[in-house]
Structure 1
Amino acid sequence: MATFFLIIIYMAFISLGLPDSLLGTAWPLMQPEYGVSFDAAGIVSMFVAGGTIVSSLASGFVIKHLGTGKVTFISCFMTAVSLLGVSFSHSFIWLLFLAIPLGLGAGSVDAALNNYIALHYKAHHMSWLHCFWGVGATLGPIIMSQFIAGQNSWRNGYLTVSMIQFLLVIMLFFTLPLWKRMAKEFHHSPENINNYEDIDNKDNLNKIEEKSINPLKIRGVKFALASFMFYCGVESTMGLWGSSFLVGVRGLSPAAAAKAVSLFYAGITVGRFITGFITLKLNNITLIRTGQTTALVGTVLLLLPLPTIVTISSFVIVGIGCAPIFPCMIHETPIRFGKENSQSIIGYQMALAYTGATFLPPILGFIAARTTIRLYPFFILAYIIIMFSCSERINILVKGKR
């Protein structure tokens, strides 16, 4: 039963990734149809991410009152309805309106499922959970590219992904009773109790609360927050503007560009699956450095005037480089800043991650609309360098805590 239930959670995380890469993939066709400026995609992205930030901050209160199962069901339903609305919308204002519930649904289910896995399953499942997000994010551009190539229609791509989401909603509805049943089983599981030996009674919990301090006053935390912000800036900017760069600068068709962007997410997916095994041999810091260096190499290849096959391959390389960074930085948090502070610090990190996804991609869109999208790889390069610098600064400040 536990395995079957885990499959349901993984499928829910696939659905979380499906919509994330649709906008950037379809934007070369959506922009002229809506009659808006090139950088308007950044505005839509900000509305989605803004909704995600709000729902993430409220997720603790919502989960407490509704439970993880209902929150996941409602969130997926909101996402499905929003995507369906986008497929029929003919006004940019409606697109912005629909972006709000799309973001609200994504943030709630993200926080709910991450928390559920952290509480009830072993650590390696967390890496694979994010791997399944990559499966969804990879499938999104593939589905969209098929409709762009076959019908020159982005709307049917959104409609198809919406129908997939509705199928998941139906599945989640009929499995709602399982959430409470599995929660009771986990509560009485000796293995689950051992996972939380540091807070297995009220006295220990009170001690932890007493030792907690303002996270921003801890050495290295501000650099950690910056690392998360610029990591998500890299990931979101790659996905949102990748197709526009390949179409406008490298001369690819919208369908071919969509497939290339899907390879970026495929790199993240495969990389995170493999990382789950590599963590048994290498520590988090080594994996973070390796990932950042790999992403840096891929970006350098992207900005050079090389053959198209190399340009497309660079999307894969950057994706593979991104794969270990986010989960390893999350996992390293208790080691760097202490278990008693990790919960609050991770909350701050998620908030800054969404902030990076909200504001950094539109900066490129705003500037590119007034200059050229050729700046795309230079922005990615700058974000990676800043992230790498902040990450190494943390290692210096917290040296000796491993």
Structure 2
Amino acid sequence: MMLLLLALIYLAFISLGLPDAVLGSSWPVISQDLSTSLDAAGFVAVIVSAGTVISSLAATRIIQRFGTGKVVAVSVLMTAAALLGFTSANYLFVLVLLAVPLGLGAGAVDAALNNFVALHYKSKHMNYLHSFWGVGATTGPLIMATYLAVNGGWREGYAVLSAIQFALVIVLFATLPLWKKAITPTVSQEEESSSTAMISNRTALKIKGVKLQMLVFCCYCSLEAGTGLWAASYLTTEKGMLASDAAFWTAMYFLGITIGRFLCGMIADRFDEAKMIRYGAVIILLGVIGVLAPLPMVLNQWSLVLIGLGCAPIYPNTIHLTPKRFGAHASQAVIALSMATAYTGTTLVPPMMGFALDTLSFAYFPFILLLLSGVMLALSEKLNAFGSKTNADKNSTNEAQMGAESM
């Protein structure tokens, strides 16, 4: 039963990734079709991210009231409806309005499923979960690139994505009873009592180390989203690449994330999660340097894929360490806060990047990535050090309690 539910969760995360990279890869054509500027994509992204922040912060209460299954099903329905609306949008303000349900749906799914998997499944399943997000994030631009190659058919591309989402909605609503049946017999009494005593966001914010984790997610998601949103524009404006080819390499960036997370899932039982996070951050730095360096075009393109590979272990492993670092009773609130801060970063940084790049030059794009990757590496190292100290303190406490009991 748990394996069947896990497969359903994987499908839901594919749907979460499908629209994430499509806006950036299709925007060079959309902006021409709607007679708007390149940096307007940042404004649409702001609204999407604002919606995810709101729904992430509200996720703890909503999930406690309605349950994870219902929250996920309704959220995917909202994203499917929004994507359908994109197919008939003729003005920028219509896309802005549709970005609201698109963001609200994404934030709720992200917060709900991340905590659910962190509590009930092993580290490898968390990595696989986010690799399936990468499947969606890679498939979305590939679908869009196919339709862009045929007379710039971005509307048809969004229609296909919407149809896929609606098909998943049917599956999710049909399998709602599975959530209770699968979880009830497997959760221990200790976990049940922890779940009913989940703390609020405000209380979680006071826990030592939580703010540091929030900063890590803010910086990481700013880098990931900024790369996905502006890489295609950088390749078209600075490298002279066709829009369809730029969309393809954006998809390859997300494919790098996807393959990397599958690999992380395969080795998760044998490697320390904190070290995987460190190695990923270093690989990102190497990839950014490859994009920045005056190398042949093919090496610049593959350096974008290297950035994706480096991104792979950071998000899922930091999430999976949350219950260990802060306790199961606090994990939903801490993850909700982390998601909200992450999306705050994607709300503010990508449009700021777009404004700066449009005003100055898209040649500065890799320099911004270099700054973000360096700061993220420093913050993640500090968080890893905090996590190691916390685990050492817990072990010392447990040993002291065992010694007292033996006496």
TM, length-normalised to structure 2: 0.89
3-state SS of paired residue (1:36): coil
Find the partner of 2:215 among 218, 226, 235: 226
| Partner residue, 2:185 | 188
Find the partner of 1:388 among 377, 392, 399: 377
Output the CA distance in 1 between the equivalents of 2:11 and 2:57. 24
Output the CA distance in 2 between the equivalents of 1:396 and 1:78. 40
| Partner residue, 2:225 | 236
| Partner residue, 1:72 | 72
| Partner residue, 2:143 | 143
CA contact (8 A) 2:118 2:320 kept: no
CA-CA distance at 1:285 after TM superposition: 2.1
CA-CA distance at 1:91 after TM superposition: 0.7
Unaligned runs of 5+ in 1: none
Q: Deviations over 1:268-316 (max 9, x none)?
A: 1111111112222221221111001100000000012221211110111
Q: Which aligned pairs between 1:204-283 and structure 2 lie closer than 5 A?
A: 215-216=205-206, 218=208, 220-283=209-272
Q: Tell whether 2:30 aligns with 1:33.
A: no
Amino acid at match of 2:66: L
Find the partner of 2:311 among 322, 330, 339: 322
CA contact (8 A) 1:215 1:341 kept: no
CA contact (8 A) 2:291 2:303 kept: yes
Unaligned runs of 5+ in 2: 392-407
| Partner residue, 2:284 | 295
Output the CA distance in 1 between the equivalents of 2:177 and 2:289. 50
Amino acid at match of 2:175: T
CA contact (8 A) 1:302 1:377 kept: yes
Q: Deviations over 1:149-207 (max 9, x none)?
A: 1232211111111111111122223223333333xxx2223xx31xx74x5658x988x
| Partner residue, 1:6 | 6
Q: Deviations over 1:336-357 (max 9, x none)?
A: 5566655543332222111111
**Count of equivalent residues:** 389
| Partner residue, 1:373 | 362
Amino acid at match of 1:244: S
Amino acid at match of 2:96: L
Q: Deviations over 1:360-390 (max 9, x none)?
A: 1111101111111111111111101111112
CA contact (8 A) 2:260 2:312 kept: yes
CA contact (8 A) 2:123 2:268 kept: no
Amino acid at match of 1:393: K
Output the CA distance in 2 between the equivalents of 1:144 and 1:235. 20
CA-CA distance at 1:85 after TM superposition: 0.6
CA contact (8 A) 1:142 1:259 kept: yes
Q: Deviations over 1:34-61 (max 9, x none)?
A: 2222211111001001111111112233
- Structure-2 change in CA distance of 1:115 and 1:263 (3 Å): same
Output the CA distance in 1 between the equivalents of 2:11 and 2:207. 39
CA contact (8 A) 1:247 1:253 kept: yes
3-state SS of paired residue (1:19): coil
TM, length-normalised to structure 1: 0.90
Q: Tell whether 2:273 aligns with 1:284.
A: yes
CA contact (8 A) 2:60 2:336 kept: no
Q: Which aligned pairs between 1:329-344 and structure 2 lie closer than 5 A?
A: 329-336=318-325, 342-344=331-333
Amino acid at match of 2:348: F
3-state SS of paired residue (2:114): helix
3-state SS of paired residue (1:89): coil
Output the CA distance in 1 between the equivalents of 2:178 and 2:113. 14
Instruction: Supply the RMSD in Å over aligned alpha carbons.
Output: 2.4
